[in-house]
Amino acid sequence: MSKFLKGTFILLIAGLITRVLGFIYRIVLARSIGEEGVGLYMMAYPTFILLVTIVQLGLPVAISKNIAEAEAKKDYGEIKKILVVSLSITISLSLILTPALILLGPLLSTTLFTDDRTYYPLMAIIPAVPIIAVSSVLRGYFQGRQNMRPSAFSQILEQLVRIALIASVTKAFFPYGVEYAAAAAMAASVIGELVSLIYLLTTFKLKKRFKLRKNFFQFVHKGKRTFNDLMSIALPTMGSRMIGSVAWFFEPIVVAHSLAIAGVLAMDATKQYGALTGYAMPLLMLPSFVTFSLATSLVPAISEANSMRNFKLIEYRLQQALRWTFLTGGLAVIVLYVLADPLMQLMYGSNKGAYFIKLMAPFFLFYYYQGPLQAVLQALNLARAAMINSLIGAIVKTTVIFLLASQASFGITGAALGIIVGFVLVTILHFATVLKKVSISLYIRDYAKGFVAMGAAGWLGYWIFEHVFIAEHLAVRVLSSATGMGIAYLAILLVLGLIKREELQRIPWIGSLFA
């Protein structure tokens, strides 16, 4: 197995664990506080992500790169300087953002979100800002030393704590009102972040080779060059993330105001937005851990090939990533589309988000492509182009949401259509930008075979669900249908030559079945 595939497989397992735990958290959250509570939580959550983006300032990537270079030279003084300067930046930002959120909380909840109950989840976010300021620097430090375990374990630990707390804290605060339950859910996330930070600090204290607090401010004063080096990497990295975070921050605001124009009451708008972003979107985005793993592995693989001007290897790696994205994404799309209603009923006890899944699932293939394509652009030193593409997509998405959601005939469906238009456009722009740099052959026949496999497997899955194990529990019917689709899909791909036996043999555990 190549380094590229091995790295992807390792990240795949870690990503799967984190995503599954995160999804369990969403299920418990939805069952604990209901559709309206999820709506309040999801209206405040983009603000949390925006604050995280600002306080991190793109530093984790810059810290990782600079520490890796200093580690290679055994320059521990420079490593300490990088940590000291980075902590000074992030802690200073947290000291600005924390009182800013306290002061702006009433304005955000009553004016922008149109539902003053969002004030309580917004206030629950505040303690997370300084916690993330420190933990993001420590994660960058460990990644720079090529020690991925602390970062991976801390994220898993964070999710476990959130899951352990969510049911009890929301139950305790629900009698006071759904807004207090939503705030308690947000507080559970903050406690998860705190436990994660404690673990990172403990690990850092055990592994460090210098005293961080000794002459701290002297290192800050001497860190001008280090600051410039960090910012030269951090700011461009932050650009694309900031666009996405700002767009997501404004999304619930635009949706709330648009639905108000369409005549939807604030409480009903909150419920509808909760069904879209709290129920449907997490399920649609769950399979993206595969493409995230591919994207993470693509950056070093493409960068190495680009430095050697090996354009054939660049195309080969890109074709590998695009093919596996299409094949894995295709299976995810048909499973979600065919089983939308029973999956919603099984997990949330409600099928209100099923309509959005059926509407959006066929287009989510474009979303799954977006990560690998953006990784290629970054590896080819086209991060600025990727940022511009993201900006165009964000503007178009927000515009379409406002134009459609403000019409009574569309309502919340207009918001879903706007989200679709946004990520489809960004993916097309990313692909067009890659084509300017790398020549890529499009194998139309293989894609046609892939769609045939999706259609056949989807039909079989629908037939199994409707005619097999009818008297059994819904979970048994869903599992049997999904298993049938998966086996049929893999068999058809093998018959049509879209997956080779030798490719499966390279994958641990699976390979032994095809030996």
pLDDT for 105 equals: 81
Tokens coding 395:
């503007």
State which amino acid sits at residue 335: V
Averaged pLDDT score across all residues of the chain: 81
Of the pLDDT bands very low, low, confident and very high (cuts 50, 70, 90), residue 464 is: very high
What is the pLDDT averaged over residues 240-267?
A: 78
Residue 465's closest CA among 475, 455, 452?
Answer: 475
Burial label for 442, CB within 10 Å (0-12, 13-18, 19+), is exposed
* Ranges 10-14, 146-150, 270-274, 391-395: which has the least confidence: 10-14
User: For residue 511, is pLDDT > 50?
Assistant: no
pLDDT band at residue 514 under the 50/70/90 scheme: very low
pLDDT of 58: 74
Write down the residue that tokens 């489809």 correspond to: 424
Whether the predicted pLDDT of 484 surpasses 60: yes
Tell me the mean pLDDT in the region 120-145. Answer: 85
153-167 pLDDT, tens digit per residue, is 888 888 888 888 887
For the cut 80, the answer to whether the pLDDT of residue 492 exceeds it is yes
Which of 48-62, 130-144, 240-254, 270-284 reaches the highest mean pLDDT? 130-144
Per-residue pLDDT at 513: 44
Strand segments (E) across 292-384: none
* pLDDT of the residue at 502: 61
Is pLDDT above 90 for 481? yes
CA distance 72 to 214: 23
Q: Is the pLDDT of residue 258 over 70?
A: yes
Mean pLDDT of 400-410: 89
Distance CA 358, CA 479 (A): 19
Each residue of 218-243: b (16+ CB within 10 Å) or e?
ebbeebeebbebbbebbebbbbbbbb
pLDDT, average across residues 276-297: 76
Amino acid present at 269: A
The pLDDT value given to residue 212: 59
* Residue 235: predicted pLDDT: 75
| Rounded CA separation 359/420 (Å) | 9
Could you tell me which residue, 20 or 370, shows the higher pLDDT?
A: 370
Q: Which pLDDT score, from 0 to 100, does residue 282 have?
A: 80
Min mean pLDDT across 2-16, 98-112, 172-186, 473-487 is at 2-16
d(CA 132, CA 134): 5
In three-state form (DSSP H/G/I as H, E/B as E, the rest C), the secondary structure along 416-472 is HHHHHHHHHHHHHHHHHHHHHHCCCCCCHHHHHHHHHHHHHHHHHHHHHHHHCCCCC
Share of the chain above pLDDT 70, in %: 85
pLDDT tens-digit series, residues 362-396: 999 999 998 888 878 877 777 778 888 988 998 99
pLDDT higher at 380 or 418:
418
- pLDDT tens by residue, 383-392: 778 888 988 9
**pLDDT per residue over 300-347, tens digit each?**
566 667 767 777 888 888 888 888 889 888 999 999 999 999 988 887
Predicted confidence at residue 275, as pLDDT, reads 79
User: Which amino acid makes up residue 120?
Assistant: Y
The whole-number average pLDDT for the span 188-199 is 91
Q: State mean pLDDT over 181-193.
A: 89
pLDDT at 510 over 70: no
Q: Which tokens sit at 195?
A: 């436990």
**What residue ranges do the domains of the chain occupy?**
14-281
pLDDT tops 80 at residue 5: no
Question: Whose CA is closest to 126, among 99, 107, 91?
Answer: 99
